Structure formats: structure tokens, C-alpha cells
Amino acid sequence: MFNILAAGPALLASLLVSGSAAPAPPPDGKTTVDVVYANGSGCPPGALKAVARKGTITIAFEDFTASSGGDALDYRKNCQVGLNVKVPKGYTYAVSRVTVGGTGKLGPGDSGSVRALMYFQGMTETVEQGREINGPLNGKWQFDSRIGPKSRVYHPCGAKRYLNVNLDLRAGSGDGSVSVGGRLGLEFTRKKC
């Protein structure tokens, strides 16, 4: 009897720990993504593809370059993409990380920028991630940003809304250029509805 009573607090503690909220296990089934539309100066028709694989949506661009010192319209390029993302039934998702990289040619004091703005069709909540790209630079640049749990915007459960992604690339003053190196990665987090 003494052993059972002595084991009581340890048993109770293990039950309390195991009863705490644990992350939902990954759902069965695949996540798929289709490009519904793409428009803007950085993505001419047919110039991009999207694929979902292992918790990441990758948007691949053919040619996405902003340059200064020439035509005034070339200093800023943007691409607005509408994605139809399908997750397993009973789950929802939010973008939790943004990665993009490319190349740049910027002189001392020159700068450029990259911004990704994401929102669900018909909703006002947005998530914006970005960075300045400063010269001197003659080579690669990288942007990798995690979105904290409190800042994530989840797709409304049971609704049919596209994920809109607006990628904006700018080259500052001077004679520079900034290019996206082929892809934008959107890591997503799923949770039960």
C-alpha cells in the first residue's frame, strides 16, 4: 500500500504532463497548390510555377529583375500571385516562414529592397516580410524570415479563399540591379480546425 501511495504523485504528474496540449500530428494526405492567376511587371504570363512539397510552397520565377539608372518603370517590379492551396480535410494552414534570394549589383550607398505581402482573399489581415538590400554588393543576397505564432494569419476553416502573395522588388538610386534568384519559398504550418 505504501508503494502505491508513494507512486501517486509521480503518476499524477505524468498524467498532467501527458494531458497538456501537444502539437497536432501531421495530417494524412497531401497539400496541393495551383496558380489561379499571376500578374504584374515581374511575372509575365506563363513565367511562373508553384509546387507544394514537405510543408513548403515554392513559387518559381523565370525572370524577375528591378534595375535603376534606365527606364523609370524598371526600378520596381512586382508579382501578384493567387494560389489555391488545398490541405487535408479538417486542417487549416498559415505561412510561417518566407525565404527568397537572388543576386544584386549595387554600388556603395545604393540600396534595393524585397517585400512579400500575404493575405487570404476577402480578408483584411495581412502578413508582410521584407528587407533592405544594401550596397556595395556584387553577388548573392538572401532573405529568410520566420513569422511568429502570434503574427500568423490562418486560412478560415471551411472557406474557399485564395492565398494572395505580392512580391515587390526595388532597385534604389544609382546604376544598380536586384534580381530574384528563381524562387520564393513559403513554409506553412498546419493545425486542426
184 φ, ψ (degrees, to nearest 5):
-120, 125
Q: What is the pTM of this model?
A: 0.79
End-to-end CA distance of the chain: 45
Phi-psi region of 72 (alpha: psi -120 to 50; beta: other; left: phi over 0): alpha
Topology at the third CATH level for domain 28-192: Jelly Rolls (2.60.120)
Residue 178 region, left (φ>0) first, then alpha (ψ -120 to 50), else beta?
A: beta
Going by C-alpha positions, the residue among 121, 113, 131 that lies closest to residue 171 is 113
* Owner of C-alpha cell 518603370: 73
Q: For the beta carbon of residue 68, count every other beta carbon within 10 angstroms.
A: 22
| pLDDT by position in tens, the chain (length 193) | 444 334 444 433 333 343 434 445 555 568 889 999 999 988 877 778 888 888 899 998 877 888 887 776 788 999 999 999 999 999 999 999 999 999 999 989 888 999 999 999 999 999 999 999 998 999 999 999 999 999 999 999 999 999 999 999 998 777 788 888 878 999 999 999 9
Identify the residue whose cell numbers are 538610386.
173
26 burial via Cβ count (<10 Å: 0-12, 13-18, 19+) = exposed
- What does the pLDDT read at residue 23? 46
Domain boundaries, the chain: 28-192
Look up residue 101 and give its amino acid: G
Among 179, 187, 103, smallest CA distance to 145 is for 187
C-alpha cell read off for 107: 554600388
CB 141 within 8 A of CB 101: yes
